Structure 1
Amino acid sequence: MTLSPIRKIFEGIADRRQMFRLFDRHAQRPNRWQCDDSALYRGEWFEIGEAEHDYMFEVLPPYFMRGEMFATREFLTDSITSVFFTLRIDGRTRYFHTYCDLADKGSTERMRAAILERETRPVRAMTREERLEHIWSSTHDDYRGYAGERWPEAMRGRRTVMLYGGVEGTFLKLLDELTRSEIAAKLPVQLRVLPDSIAA
């Protein structure tokens, strides 16, 4: 499973419980720690509240502080760590958690630009990819996973979610193969009505 480009993984403001779940939403991945999983995390971001931002700032001294951002000392992988942003958007101060690769000198600036571009769009909307990432992020661990040995070899390692099939009961389906109606059924009501957005 390879992800990587900059992507929003949760719609709305994550509370403390959600924030800690989102920090390692790939915890169930197969062969954890046996290979470089940097691409799973690099580029992920989501919004948090001021209290969550301040809590993370006070946990440990930052690895670095620069204007509107700080990075944590605990690296997820060799060069990927949490970078927290405080950004002024449309007259409001907002807070974001991101995973940046500090070996890539421009990663924090690109992340900041991507968040500002995404959050200053005139119409609130979501791309298909954002809907799928929100579903993955908000689904309980018992109802999401990765395609294993029972799946055809080409599908193994891809993300799966549990769906309810009416008379047939529940079944697993690949996350990236969900239909529009299945996506709508898995999203909270307030997100179902958002229009589609074209990724920038």
Structure 2
Amino acid sequence: MNPTSPIRKIYQGIADRRQMFRLFDRHAQRPDRFEDDAGPLYAGEWFEIGRAEHDHMLEILPPLWMRGDMFAMREFLTDSITSVFFALTINGRIRYFHGYCDLFDRGSPERMRDAIVERETWPVKAMTHEECLEHIWSSTHDDYRGYAGERWLPEHRGKRTVLVYGRGRTELKLLDRLSDEEIAAKLPVHLRHLPLKTAA
């Protein structure tokens, strides 16, 4: 992937079908949606799905290609980015994943596969700070997330925002400016006490 599109996990847990379709287009509210190049937003994003969701997507259309443990969707999200679905054996169990790969970037599906396996075989269950923020963005309802607009300083416009509740009032904050306490409050209970892992 190019430097602006790192391979990154965007949702913790296994997405059901409703959540999977939400995650497919989690940047739908971005400004200038039909005028900008969305490639860097999506390229490199991945999350886990169930077998039923994996098989459902395989049956929708004939794949663009199939290679052992992966297949690519025939319909592209952008000029060169499409969905790639994986069935990977991790710690002796088959698990299923979706990722957005830039097919103009040779080897991107293989790099995605390797990154997923590496991430999912961490010896300790943990999350990086970036994964916490991505999970919050992915799981927040559209009504409570958005993008900084005209009332923000020019350097913040277009950045992601979320609604935060605290001290008897609500406040719109930049996603990347959430405090540790605000992050913990927005994560599901079962994720709040996972140790933070420093990204490699």
TM-score bracket, shorter-length normalisation:
over 0.9
Q: Percent identity?
A: 73
Amino acid at match of 1:178: L
Map 1:171-182 to 2 at 5 A.
171-182=171-182
Tell me the residue number matched to 1:164. 165
Task: Give the RMSD, CA atoms, in angstroms.
Answer: 1.0
Q: Label 1:187 to 1:3 Cα distance change in 2 as closer, same or farther (>3 A).
A: farther
Shift of 1:165: 2.3
Partner of 1:150: helix, strand, or coil?
coil
Shift of 1:35: 1.5
Partner of 1:173: helix, strand, or coil?
strand
How many residue pairs align between the two structures?
198
Shift of 1:109: 1.0
Partners of 1:179 and 1:3 in 2: how far apart? 24
Shift of 1:106: 1.2
Q: Which runs of 4+ in 1 moved over 4 A?
A: none
Amino acid at match of 2:173: K
Amino acid at match of 1:144: R
Q: Deviations over 1:97-126 (max 9, x none)?
A: 000000011101110110011000110000
Amino acid at match of 1:187: L
Map 1:111-150 to 2 at 5 A.
111-150=112-151
Query: What's the TM-score once normalised by structure 1's chain length?
Result: 0.97
Map 1:1-200 to 2 at 5 A.
4-167=5-168, 169-200=169-200
Partners of 1:199 and 1:84 in 2: how far apart? 24
Query: What's the TM-score once normalised by structure 2's chain length?
Result: 0.97
Partner of 2:35: helix, strand, or coil?
coil
Q: Which runs of 5+ in 1 are unaligned?
A: none
Shift of 1:3: 5.3
Q: Deviations over 1:2-47 (max 9, x none)?
A: 9510000000000000000000000000000201110000000000
Partners of 2:155 and 2:199 in 1: how far apart? 27
Q: Deviations over 1:138-190 (max 9, x none)?
A: 000000000000101110000000001222x1110000000100000000000
Amino acid at match of 2:188: P
Amino acid at match of 2:178: L
